């Protein structure tokens, strides 16, 4: 799930403000790697500003990325790599997305504190946890049953009470809980599932990678008050395929 971008590092004031150092590093063995992850996100955001239209991410998104313990969402043998700015395998042929992409997609959704958000593709639950730091409620669907079960338990243990998980085909969205202020798809779709646009509130945003493997583009759909959606391209990306949908 990594975009085709170079990785970079920056020791920036924004990141240092999140982790003052000293005692924090002594108490948290992941403080330094997490700080470096945030520095990488800051730099790559600057490097891609002409493509994304974002020279920096919102402070709310940065704070969420700093807070969620990414090492709890990867297999134990990969914990030492948890804060590297790259995707990691989580089993069942799936991955946890590159931190920069998680941060960017979250920022593009422009979540407000009272929003209700749908995520298609729970995976390990990491993206859902980041969304939960920003939204009032997160509804997340995973088609791979073992991953859905593991993510449900993981999010529960970590105290994310505003996340509702479900095993099922996210291509159809979640009609019983619609409409949503924002919808995020964390797998590559060949086309935008019509149900997702239907379940998006007027004024809401859908963030989704679209296209065949090797030619996916991260897209943002804005739904107007008249119910019509406009779209814009953001970045070339590479995600695992969205499964399910019409047979």
Strand arrangement of the beta sheet that strand 200-210 belongs to: 163-167, 137-142, 116-120, 180-185, 200-210, 216-223, 229-237
Between β-strands 163-167 and 88-91, what pairing exists: parallel, antiparallel or unpaired? unpaired
Assign 242 to helix, strand or coil: coil
Task: Please answer whether residues 136 and 130 qualify as being in contact, where contact means their C-beta atoms are separated by less than 8 angstroms.
Answer: no
Residue 145, judged by CB atoms within 10 A of its CB (0-12, 13-18, 19+), counts as exposed
| Residue in the structure block whose two tokens are 């379940």 | 199
Assign 58 to helix, strand or coil: coil
Confirm whether 97 is a catalytic residue.
yes
Q: Please tell me the distance from the alpha carbon of residue 20 to that of residue 22, in angstroms, as a whole number.
A: 7
Choose, from 97, 122, 124, 140, the residue flagged as catalytic.
Answer: 97
Residues tagged active-site: 97
């Amino acid at each position: 799930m990594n975009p085709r971008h170079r990785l970079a590092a920056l020791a920036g004031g924004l990141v240092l403000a999140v982790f003052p150092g000293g005692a924090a590093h002594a108490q948290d063995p992941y403080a330094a790697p997490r700080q470096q992850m945030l520095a990488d996100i800051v730099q790559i955001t600057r490097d891609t500003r002409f493509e994304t239209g974002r020279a920096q991410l919102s402070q709310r998104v940065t704070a969420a990325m700093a807070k969620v313990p990414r090492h709890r969402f990867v297999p134990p043998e990969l914990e030492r790599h948890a804060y590297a700015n790259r995707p990691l395998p989580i089993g069942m042929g799936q991955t946890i997305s590159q931190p920069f992409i998680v941060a960017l997609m979250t920022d593009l959704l422009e979540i407000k504190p009272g929003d209700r958000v749908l995520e298609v593709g729970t995976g390990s639950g990491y993206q859902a946890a980041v969304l939960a730091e920003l939204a009032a409620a997160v509804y997340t669907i995973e088609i791979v049953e073992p991953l859905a079960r593991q993510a449900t338990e993981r999010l529960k243990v970590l105290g994310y009470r505003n996340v509702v998980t479900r095993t099922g085909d996210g291509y159809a969205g979640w009609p019983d809980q619609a409409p949503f202020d924002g919808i995020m798809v964390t797998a590559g779709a060949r086309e935008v599932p019509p149900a997702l646009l239907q379940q998006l509130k007027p004024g809401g945003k859908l963030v989704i990678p679209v296209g065949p493997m090797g030619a996916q583009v991260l897209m943002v759909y804005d739904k107007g008050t008249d119910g019509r959606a406009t779209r814009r391209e953001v970045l070339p990306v590479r995600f695992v395929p969205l499964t399910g949908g019409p047979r």
